[in-house]
Structures are given as structure tokens and as C-alpha cells.
Amino acid sequence: MNKLGYFFAAPGDFLSSAWNDISSAYSSLFKGAIFDPATVSGTPSQFFGPISNTLEYATPLMFGGLAISVAFRAGMFNIGGQGQLIVGAICASYVGFSWTALPGLLHMIVAVLAGIVGGMLYGGLVGWLKAYRGAHEVIVTIMLNYVAFFFLGSWLLNTSVFHNPAAAGQAISKPASPSAVLPHLFGDSLFTDIGLLFALAATFGVAWFFKRSKLGFEVRAVGLRPSAARTAGINVNRVQIASMLISGGLMGMIGVTQTLGLANPNNNSLSPNIDAGLGFTAITVALLGRTKPWGVVWAALLFGALEAGGALMQTQAQVSIEIITVMQALIVIFVAAPQLVQEIFRLRAHKIDTGGKGDENTPAPDPFHTTDTTNVAGGEA
């Protein structure tokens, strides 16, 4: 009420004060995410630190966005990223702290592959249940999220195999050997590891997969018209399982980066909160990127910048970090919602034209790309 009275008593001062607060908040966001002019004469770590932090935050989101995109292109909604990345993290962590006899580079490679395989198996289980038992992937993945979360936090981290004796009273695993940890990409002073290169390589791979490979063609065909794809001789069950295997493997890479990467705050140990909500944030990244591989990269960079700059915005401008979540939600609403609304009205118009009866060859509404057959026959990926 006092602020309302202040607005009417001195509107110019009120607006000036509001502008100063807003500009200070966004200035701090930019400085924390991209570049701080005050560091021009500083050290390289100070100058490149903000953009390095953005890249590190964006790396797991690239993997997650790609994972959601692969499943969605096959007509499935992989909401089980949390469980898949946890299983991937468990496998990578175990190899990281137990297989210490392996030489340095080989140890890291095996740990990374273990994380990928763990995520693939957990995701492939969902694909198998959907293909051969008719289970809905959303229900199954939600349940498997809980299984993985409580398996890790309530039991595994308290076993003698995983529990770190030095962390008395804490559910933390033994730290990974330095030979298994992902090395710095731009020097020890910058907060970016080699996981970024893995993420970019995965982006190239997924883009090629959709545009050039036979299986990628089949994935797009099944996602657009499952019954038509089956009539054309495509093994829909095999495609669904393969899509969830790939999606789970990419989610497993989030577990690898969270466990063996520089983002781990616990000295490369496994903890119950290792997922950090990334499995669900990846869904919004995929939405924003329209399930296109390079669109996902740009969306992940945007979300990474918001995360990196949000911390400085909170400390310097005294703005709650939760405002970043609000900004992310608004971005998705304004970018993805218009196309979604168009698809809803398109489906509604189709039902009116067919007398309220759907056609089994008509695909479910896709808010990310059209159902033009040129998109299947090697069009835009």
C-alpha cells in the first residue's frame, strides 16, 4: 500500500527507482553469464569465466534436450530422464572409483561408456514395455524415476560398496579416481570440461541420424504415422525400443557429466541430488529447440546463461534466483505455445471435417514440426 501511495505521490521517482532495479538485475545477469566489462584488465579466468560457466551449465542440457527430441520424434514422451541419468551416474561412478587399475585415458573412456550403457538399459526397458506390453511410456518412466531415486538415496549410497567412510552421516559415494574425471577443456582456471565436446559431437550425431540414416528415417516415419509406417514394412516395435535406447543413453551422459565433470560439488562423488532436476529441465529445452538438434543447442545455451547469470543476479541485485525459473517458463510459453495452439485447432478442425471420428493414419498433434511428408523423406532434421 505504501508503494502504491509512493507511485501516485512521486510517479517519476517511482519509475526511475523501478528502472534502476530492473537494469541492475539484468546487468548482473549478463555479467554472470556472458561478459563483465570490469574484467577486461583482469586475468583470463576472470575475463572468460562467465561464458565458461554458461557452457558448463549448458552441457548436460544439450544431452537432455537431444534425448527428449529423439524419443519425441518417434512419437514417445520420455519423462524418465531423472531415472535414466541417475542410473547412468551410478554406473559411471562405480567404474570411476573401483576400476582404478585402468590407465588414465582408458579409465575415463570406460567410465563414460558405462554411464551411457546404464542410461540406455534403463531407457530401453521403457521402450520394450511399450512395444511388447502396451505400457504407456509416461506412466512407466514416472514410476522408474522413483525407483532409481530411492534406490540411490535410500539404499545404494548406504552400502559398503558405494558409501564413502570419510563422509560420516552423509549419503555420499566414494570419489571417482582422478584418472576417470573429465579433464578441463580450456585450462584448469576455467569451469568447462571435455563434456562440452561430447555434447557437440552428440549433436552432430543426432542431426546425421535424423537426416541420413535409415533408422532415423524410420523414427520420423513412426513418429508421424505409426500405422502407415507399419503398413510400409517398418518394424514399429524395433524403432520404439531403439529410440528409447538412444534417448536413455543421452540421458546417461548427463549422469556422467554430473558425476565425473566439473559441475560436481562433492569432489566427483555420487549424492542423492545428483540429478539436480536436469531430467525435467531437458524437456523445456527440447520444447524451446523444437526437437531440432541445433535448436536444442541454442536453447541449452540460453538456459545455461540464465543459470550462470542467476547466481550473480541474486548476490549483486538481490533478486531471488527463482525468477530465473519464471523467465524460463515464460520463454517456453511464448516460443512453443503458439505452434501448440495451432496444432490443437488443426486437430479440432480435422475432427469436425470427419464428423468427430479420427483416422488411424492421422498422427497425433505435434507442436514442433508439421506432418508434411517431405519432413519424413529426408527433409529438415
pLDDT interval class at 357 (50, 70, 90) = low
Question: Predicted confidence band at 377 (pLDDT cuts at 50, 70, 90)?
Answer: very low
- Alpha carbons 179 and 95: distance in angstroms, whole number: 11
> Could you tell me the three cell numbers for 331?
520463454
Rounded mean pLDDT, 253-275:
89
- Is 77:270 a contact under the CB 8 Å cutoff? no
Classify burial at 268, counting beta carbons within 10 Å of its beta carbon; exposed 0-12, middle 13-18, buried 19 or more: buried
CA distance readout (Å), 101 to 97, 105, 174: 10, 12, 16
The Cα 45–Cα 26 span in angstroms is 22
Distances (CA, A) of 138 to 135, 192, 363, 371: 9, 33, 18, 23
**What does the longest C-alpha to C-alpha distance in the chain come to?**
75
pLDDT digits over 186-211, tens only?
A: 877 788 999 999 999 999 999 999 99
Does the predicted TM-score (pTM) go above 0.75? Answer: yes
59/301 Cα distance (integer angstroms): 8
How large is the angle between the packed helices 104-133 and 81-98, nearest 10 degrees?
150
Q: Are 242 and 95 in contact (CB under 8 A)?
A: no
Domain residue spans of the chain: 51-309+322-375
Q: Are 276 and 258 in contact (CB under 8 A)?
A: yes
Mean pLDDT of the residues in the chain: 85
CA distance 33 to 138: 34
